[in-house]
Structure 1
Amino acid sequence: MFGTFFYNETIKRSISVFGTLFNNIHTSKIKADGTVLSKNLVPISYGPKQKFLLRLQDDVKAKDGNVTSISLPRMAFELTGFEYDASRQQNKLIRTQKTVLETSDVGKRGFQYQPAPYNLTFTLSILSKNAIDALQIVEQILPYFQPEYTVSMKMVDSMSEVRDVPIFLNSVAMDDQYEGEFVERRVIEYTLEFTMKTYFFGPVYTGEVIKNVIERDYINDSVAAGFTSTEINNSGLVKEVKHYEPAFAARSNAVVNSNTVTFPSAINSKISVGDEVFGTNLTTNPTISSIASDKLSIVLSNQVNFSANTNLKFVGSVDPSDTFVVAETVTFYDEGGGNTFEEDTASDG
């Protein structure tokens, strides 16, 4: 239905970041005088705690002699849910752009629209056979969450944006399974619930880059000589943006009083009849009347005269399909008094 395949690995990336937070926790055996007898890294793996609890209940003697019981302490975590967070949603049309142009699509820049904010809920389970090991693990985690711990994540590999993602500690629960037969193993369990406030980005789009902007500024030095009462407080600055779109450039051969302009190599295929040509040194920019099929010459609406290697710029009409194009027209009001402003600067009052 949506038609564009993309995979930003957001869920995979979030799980990896969460698990990495707890992959360097140790337990120690310490004598009364402070001497450290041993220090062990607590293993952590992805999966529900029930899998490890079942392993603890397995009868090792009933199986192959090479099978050993699971060792404690250890930790397990899993992703348990998703929830849309409307409070963090921004304007969906805001874009994030790449810092460099596309290499595969020359002249274009990649961008993404604002992501959808989601809360991911994680459960971290701590399993231990004695209280001291469990307390050591818990106390190495709790001080960092007040109540959140923020990590920086690069959300999409092909984009340059890095976002701060807070991880909140919601609750801590403890369960000591001390009841049962003597042959059963005791398990002390701590369950910590977390919420990660992350973002889901859509596909990366590409669009033309704005390369040329032409504007005319009308400045009124005195109220008596200038604009009418309906124009920006009778005085000030009025801006008329004539073109605000991609422009293509090409260097030409020498031209002497002729409408035909030739080029040493083919011009851009997007240049079309009717485009306005800048750089001809004429007061009024000529337009393209026709283009040769080989793109090596064009015919202009006026005769021109310039030297070889002159850099000409071609600006066409606004293309509504180009997401980067913006066209702005300013209407000038005339109430019958004051001056009327013409297109040429010599007639402007």
Structure 2
Amino acid sequence: MFQSHFYHETIRNTVVAFGTLFDDIKVHKLNADGTDRISIQVPLAYAAREKYIQRLKEDSRLNDDEYPNAHVQMTLPRMSFNMTSLNYDASRKRNTIHRRRVKDIENTQGQLSYQYAEVPYNMGFELGVYASTFEDGLQIVEQIVPYFTPEFNVTFQTAGGTSDINTKIDLPIVLEGVNLDYDFLGEMETRRLLNWTLTFNVKSYLYGPVRRDKTIIQSKTTLFDLGDGLTSGQVAGLCGTTGAVSRIDIGISGGTGIFIDGSQTNPPAIPPYIFTKTEYQINNPAGSGTGDVIDGGGNIVDPTTAYKPFIVDRRPFFTVDFANGNKGIDDWRMTSDDTQITNPDATSGVITDPQDAVRTAVEVTMQREYERGFRRFNVRTPMGARTSVNTGTALPSASWSAGDPNLGTWNDAQNIATVKSGGTTLEYVFTTTGQRKSVDVTAATADRQQSFINFLKPWIESKAAAGDPVQVYIYDGYQLAFHDTAQRDPAKGNLAMRGSWESGWSGNIAARFPMPDFSKSSHIEFRENEVIPWRDEVGIHGFMVDAASNAGDTAGNYGIPRAPGYFEFYRDRGLDIIGEAVPVIQGAGGTYDLNPDLYKLTPYVGYGGGTADGLVGNFWGNRNWRTIFPSTTDSEIHMVVQWSFQGAPGGINSEYWNGATYDFAGITAEIKQAHDNGFVVDAGFGPYLSASPAEEAKRSIVLDYIVELGGSGGE
């Protein structure tokens, strides 16, 4: 039934890792003046609690003729631990057939080593603390308990045959209970024993055998020669009365990149050689002009059924917002000083001591919502927000270069006008205190990019290693930015667009902040410089891009035409892409429906206020969302609900506040209706953290409900 022998030492190493946590506990004995008299390292042994207690209580006499009256007892304090249980944990189980693959661990040519998904098991442990005085026991316990809140993560290096496949995982060790036993009864000469028992649950994994599989060394691609038919009504490459498309079959062999048919003798110098299937929208050969699409078999098909596929994932998002326009242009529209605090070497992420805004966002906000059940995160305005007016609208920006302390200039009206001549530019805002150096003399310039590398990246990797991965998206602006109106010189630090007082600047907006055109190398250069580091240095999953609901409307049928290749730019670079704004069209009488030529191109997110009709700035409520029913199989349409303090306009709670309390049944019923219609409901707010008012703290009810509704997909 089972394969030949394998043994990865996973259980053994878990036991060792657990014991190592407690092998350097010390007890200090003090003099009367409070100075150290002696420091004792508490011995630790692997032993069952009951046998250890029995050994401590024994009057151990040495049966030796030379020393007939010698008495030996174990000295205290001491500790012991042992493994007590091993139980399967179905709540952490992933799909069994998922595989991890690496280059063959025995370096066999043409083969890969792989392993099926890890199997989650909970390992129970007991730690016994034995002391003769209450003070000794308290010293030991107090050195252990504060680290468990209630869990403590240990990075675990797997061993044996799996070391090349599963190099490191995070083991959450959960403290489940602490009990104290006294020995009050007995004779006066009986030794006193204080026994503390700490119980733990280690959420570990077990791994099956390593298998081998052959490597794909040859692939074949079918290309369709459409000539110049993409831009004119006369379609080239179509022949005969059937309208079939002529095609060229080619292939790529091995690692040389030489085409099998010899048609290309000088392949690109840098692998991998990737062919991306692109479905071109062309005119109908018969001249109907309906925008037919050529499918993979060369057939002309209905455009509403032929789109580049994406994986439908109906799990909700949680939004982490660094900036929403509360601060002025000099501070790049960051929400507060705390969101600007930057210290890549920070040792704390707690709210009461925010040494680094990124670390606090990751370890407090994102970890809290991860524990609530969210697995998809939208990080909005991580590097600040662009602004279209001095006192108002803030547009999201995720420009990687904005977090570089060595950049020296940032892209706004003032900076672009002076960067060539060396004039004064806006001041870099990411400092150790969160205030600009001109405001706070104690502030030191800090590297915001490194903070994301140091704190967000390992958090993402730890979840993947634990078998419960997260998807982190960066919310970005749609427009690009250039120093010159000819759009040849990409700008960096893309933040503030213009100030309302600068009338002379307004005429250059379209030229300096154009819509992306991926037929231009300068546009590609700009976007790659700001996008790729997020992928390579931080490990994010993809991007949400502002105002992209018409990004796929290359013909301009439903709004402003966009250059082709927008979504493919991200996908071809291994990044997921989600368009912000609503892919709907307006019908007669103020009705709305999903745009059939857009909504299957990519997921979309409607980011606005609550769902109530008529609310200002509310994408969904103003478009009669109750009459729209997205398909749950071929579309992924998100509705981001927000919260307004004490029922102010713009939140999911606005209609359900009576001046004193919320109608949470009404709020959750509305969210359920949106979910049942086919929308994915996202959370654009977090829990209320202050002590009062109590009614606002209950917003966690809604967050829990969004997670409970949930959704599947994403692998």
Q: Distance in 2 between matches of 1:240 and 1:48?
A: 72
**What is the alpha-carbon distance in structure 1 between the residues aligned to residue 84 and residue 237 of structure 2?**
66
Structure 1, unaligned runs of 5 or more: 229-238, 251-276, 284-305, 307-328, 336-349
Determine which of 199, 213, 219 is the counterpart of 2:205.
Answer: 199
Percent identical: 33
For residue 338 of structure 2, what is the aligned residue in structure 1? Answer: none
Rg: which structure is higher?
Answer: 1
Distance change (3 Å), C-alpha of 1:67 and 1:216:
farther
Q: Aligned with 1:19: secondary structure?
A: helix
Q: 1:223 to 1:76 in 2, by over 3 A?
A: farther
Which amino acid in 1 is paired with 2:176?
Answer: N
Q: Secondary structure at the match of 1:175?
A: strand
Corresponding position of 1:97: 101
Q: Distance in 1 between matches of 2:234 and 2:135?
A: 88
Instruction: Pick one of 78, 81, 88 that aligns with 1:84.
Output: 88
Distance in 2 (CA, whole Å) between partners of 1:282 and 1:240 is 11
Q: 2:164 aligns with which of 159, 163, 168?
A: 159
Please tell me the root mean square deviation across aligned C-alpha atoms, in Å. 3.2
2:129 aligned residue: 126
- The equivalent position to 2:118 in structure 1, one of 93, 115, 118, is 115
The 8 Å contact of residues 102 and 108 in structure 1, kept in 2 or not, is answered as: no
Q: Which residue does the alignment assign to 2:59?
A: 59
Deviation of 1:242 (Å): 7.6
Corresponding residue number in structure 2 for 1:225? 235
Distance 2:146 2:175 in 1: 11
Residue in 2 that maps onto 1:261? none
The aligned residue for residue 69 of structure 1 is 73
Give the residue type in structure 1 aligned to 2:196.
Answer: Y
* 1:167-221 CA-partner distances (Å, limit 9, x unpaired): 0000100111121111211100100010100111111111122233331233561
Instruction: Return the alpha-carbon distance in structure 2 between the equivalents of residues 334 and 123 of structure 1.
Output: 68
SS in 1 for 2:17: helix
Which of 175, 190, 199 in structure 2 is aligned with 1:184? 190
> Partner of 1:236 in structure 2?
none
Could you tell which deviates more after superposition, 67-76 or 211-220? 211-220
Give the Cα separation in 2 of the matches to 1:130 and 1:73: 8
Q: Secondary structure at the match of 1:11?
A: helix
Judging changes above 3 Å, is the alpha-carbon distance between structure 1 residues 241 and 19 closer, same or farther for their aligned structure 2 residues? Answer: farther
| DSSP 3-state at the match of 2:54 | helix
Q: Deviations over 1:12-48 (max 9, x none)?
A: 0110000000000000101242210000000111111
* Contact preservation (8 Å) 1:85, 1:117: yes
- Matched-pair contact (CA < 8 Å) for 1:79–1:121: yes
- Is 1:4 paired with 2:4? yes
Paired residue type of 1:225: V
* Cα distance change, pair 84–73 in 1 and its aligned pair in 2 (3 A): same
- More relative contact order in 1 or in 2 (CA 8 Å, sep 6+)? 1
State the distance in 1 between where 2:52 and 2:83 align. 16
Tell me the distance in 2 between the aligned counterparts of 1:227 and 1:32. 98
Deviation track 1:263-315 (CA, whole Å, cap 9, x = no partner) reads xxxxxxxxxxxxxx9556479xxxxxxxxxxxxxxxxxxxxxx9xxxxxxxxx
Residue 43 (structure 1) aligns with: 43
- Measure, in 2, the Cα distance between the counterparts of 1:56 and 1:187: 8
Alpha-carbon separation, structure 1, partners of 2:250 and 2:185? 83
Counterpart of 1:51, as a letter, is K
Alpha carbons of structure 1 residues 87 and 241: separation in structure 2 relative to 1, 3 Å: farther
Residues of 1 paired with 2:255 and 2:142: CA distance?
Answer: 65
Q: Which stretch shifts more, 120-129 or 218-227?
A: 218-227
Residues 333-348 of structure 1 aligned to structure 2 (within 5 Å): 333=299
Deviation at 1:62, TM superposition (A): 6.8
Contact 1:154 1:160 in 2 (8 A): no
* Offset of residue 63 of structure 1: 3.5
The superposition leaves residues 202-243 of structure 1 with CA deviations (integer Å, 9 ceiling, x where unpaired) of: 111111222333312335616773899xxxxxxxxxx99987
CA gap of 1:111–1:242, structure 2 versus 1, over 3 A, is farther
Question: Contact conserved, 1:108 with 1:209, CA < 8 A, in 2?
Answer: yes
C-alpha change, 1:280 and 1:213, in structure 2 (3 Å) is closer
Amino acid at match of 1:163: I
**Aligned-partner SS, 1:22:** coil
Indicate conservation of the 8 Å contact 1:114/1:201, yes or no.
Answer: yes
The 3 A distance-change label for structure 1 pair 241 and 114 is farther
Partner Cα distance (1:62, 1:206) in 2: 59
- What's the TM-score, normalizing by structure 2? 0.33
Question: Cα distance, 1:3 vs. partner?
Answer: 2.1
Q: Following the alignment from structure 1 to structure 2, what is the Cα–Cα distance between the partners of residues 211 and 166?
A: 40
On the 8 A contact 1:81/1:120 being kept in 2, the answer is yes
Q: Secondary structure at the match of 1:112?
A: strand
Structure 1 residues 111 and 62, CA gap change in structure 2 (3 angstroms):
closer
> Counterpart of 1:140 in structure 2: which amino acid?
Q
Report what 2:30 is aligned to: 30
**Contact kept? 1:93, 1:114, Cα under 8 Å:** yes
The answer on whether the counterparts of 1:56 and 1:185 sit within 8 Å (CA) in structure 2 is no
Q: Is 63-72 or 160-169 further displaced after alignment?
A: 63-72
In the alignment, the residues of structure 1 paired with residue 248 and residue 47 of structure 2 have an alpha-carbon distance, to the nearest angstrom, of: 63
Cα 1:137–1:226 shift into 2, 3 Å? farther
Distance 2:233 2:16 in 1: 66
Change (3 A) 1:243 1:166: farther
> What is the CA–CA distance in structure 1 between the aligned matches of 2:183 and 2:248, rounded to whole Å?
78
Contact 2:250–2:260, Cα closer than 8 Å, also in 1: no
Structure 1 stretch 208-217 or stretch 177-186: which is displaced more? 208-217
Secondary structure at 1:210's aligned position in 2? coil
Give 1:70's aligned amino acid: M
1:129–1:213 distance in 2 versus 1, CA, 3 Å:
same
More strand per residue: 1
Q: How far apart in 1 are the matches of 2:249 and 2:190? A: 82
Separation (CA, whole Å) in 2 of partners of 1:141 and 1:249: 54
Aligned-partner Cα distance in 2 for 1:240–1:23: 67
State the AA in 2 paired with 1:175: D
Cα displacement (A) at 1:84: 1.2
Query: Counterpart of 1:50 in 2: which secondary structure?
Result: helix
Residue 163 of structure 1, CA deviation: 0.8
Who is 1:138 aligned against?
141
Structure 1 residue runs of 4 or more that deviate by more than 6 Å after TM superposition: 239-244
Please give the secondary structure, in 2, of the residue aligned with 1:71.
coil
Find the aligned partners of 2:151 and 2:220 in 1 and give their Cα distance.
Answer: 50
1:340 matched residue in structure 2: none
Q: Secondary structure at the match of 1:53?
A: helix
